[in-house]
Amino acid sequence: MASSSSNLISLKTSDGTVFKVERALAKTMKTVQAIIEEADANIYMIPIHNVFSHHMDMIIDYYKLSVAGKSKEFSVEKLDNDELKDFLLAVHYLNMEDLFEVLTQAVADRLEKKSVGYVRKYFGIENDFTPEEYAAIRKKNDWAFKGDDIEPEEDEEKQEE
């Protein structure tokens, strides 16, 4: 098996940077772990597609904080919405459970109390409803839109029988 000198795993990001990370950190990346286990011989360098060096920097920050029991101090506040999305995708690709939870929560926090239009834009969703279809689904589920002051299309609230 691996010699003791391979305590570090080399990961190559999409933008060509090589990161030498502790085996323990690589273990938190299920995708990487699977690659290591499948390789017949020692693998020198593992390419991680969809992950950029700035993602790896943040992953290493999170790892260091969680090892020190300070994972609550990790913040993605400074990332704008697109950067957060990309980071979530990278972490999803690497299959890192804890960090994934943190990031999905962060995305949810940014979506909380936002209008339908905002959410659509955030997720990059194209509205493929016809106006009639939209009106129909909106009416059918109006029980979920009542008493909501965010939705601009909301009718004046009527007293229900």
Helix, strand, coil percentages, rounded to 5, for the chain: 50, 10, 40
Q: Does 94 contact other proteins by CB under 8 A?
A: no
Stretch that binds other proteins, among 31-39, 58-66, 71-79, 117-125 (CB under 8 A): 117-125
CA nearest to 36, candidates 49, 47, 20: 47
DSSP string across 13-64: ETTS-EEEEEHHHHHT-HHHHHHHHH-SS--S-EEETT--HHHHHHHHHHHH
DSSP string across 82-103: HHHHHHHHHHHHHT-HHHHHHH
Least Å distance between CB 150 and other proteins?
A: 9
Q: Which is nearer to other proteins, 31 or 50 (CB)?
A: 50
**Which of 3, 41, 141, 158 forms a contact with other proteins (CB under 8 A)?**
141
Least Å distance between CB 115 and other proteins?
A: 9
- The neighbour count for residue 153, using CB atoms within 10 Å, is 11
Q: Does 127 contact other proteins by CB under 8 A?
A: yes
**Which of 16, 124, 131, 152 forms a contact with other proteins (CB under 8 A)?**
124
CA nearest to 22, candidates 74, 54, 66: 66
Least Å distance between CB 5 and other proteins?
A: 34
Q: Does 54 contact other proteins by CB under 8 A?
A: no
Q: Which is nearer to other proteins, 11 or 88 (CB)?
A: 88
Q: Does 109 contact other proteins by CB under 8 A?
A: yes
The pair of structure tokens assigned to 155 is: 């009718």
Return residues touching other proteins (CB under 8 A). Answer: 14, 50, 82, 85-86, 88-89, 92, 104-105, 107-109, 111-113, 116, 119-120, 122-129, 133-134, 137-138, 141, 143-149, 151, 157, 160
